[in-house]
Amino acid sequence: MGGNRKEKIYYERGTEDLKKKNIRAHKLIKEFNHVEVEEDGKREEIIRNLFGSVGNNPSIEHNFHCDLGYNIHVGNDFYAGYNCTILDMAEVRIGDNCMLGPNGGIYTAGHSLESTGRNNSGFAIPIKIGNDVWIGGSCVILAGVDIGENSVVAAGSVVTKDVPANVVVAGNPAKILRSL
């Protein structure tokens, strides 16, 4: 675990390098979101080109979005429901057998609380999600969070701090409800 010990990665918005990376990702995302539903092979091929690494049997529903793509690493049997957004300015590592409900958001990115320069730059902190995690619909996982294996994040939760293994969390901010 240890979201607080993770190092912030700083970036400048609007640089030529970042624009190129975004354009690459957005072209693949547009292609993915317009593939016919029954063309599973084509959808998987695009995800394998977009993500940094992908295990066996990935399944991602339409209306997927991300920043760069190559910072996303998913294990075997990953599932993401409709309208998933992963802001991957830093690495997002998701283990095997993980499910993300519809309207889920995983956000490594953040911005300064100071208004000066807020629109020009940002920071990102990696996120790690262990094996066998279920994240319910309309959940948000914020920068720097680690979620331990076998845990469940109840629908509508906002996860602002690390979640240990084998627990159910819920709420805004998410708090442990019980052990599994």
3 state SS for the chain: CCHHHCCCEEEECCCHHHHHHHHHHHHHHHHHHCCCCCCHHHHHHHHHHHCCEECCCCEECCCCEECCCCCEEECCCCEECCCCEEECCCCEEECCCCEECCCCEEECEECCCCCCCCCCEEEECCEEECCCCEECCCCEECCCCEECCCCEECCCCEECCCECCCEEEEECCEEEEEEC
Q: Considering the candidates 26, 62, 65, 111, report the single residue annotated as catalytic.
A: 111
Q: How far apart are CA 81 and CA 46, in angstroms?
A: 17
Is 111 among the residues known to form the active site? yes
Which of the residues are catalytic? 111
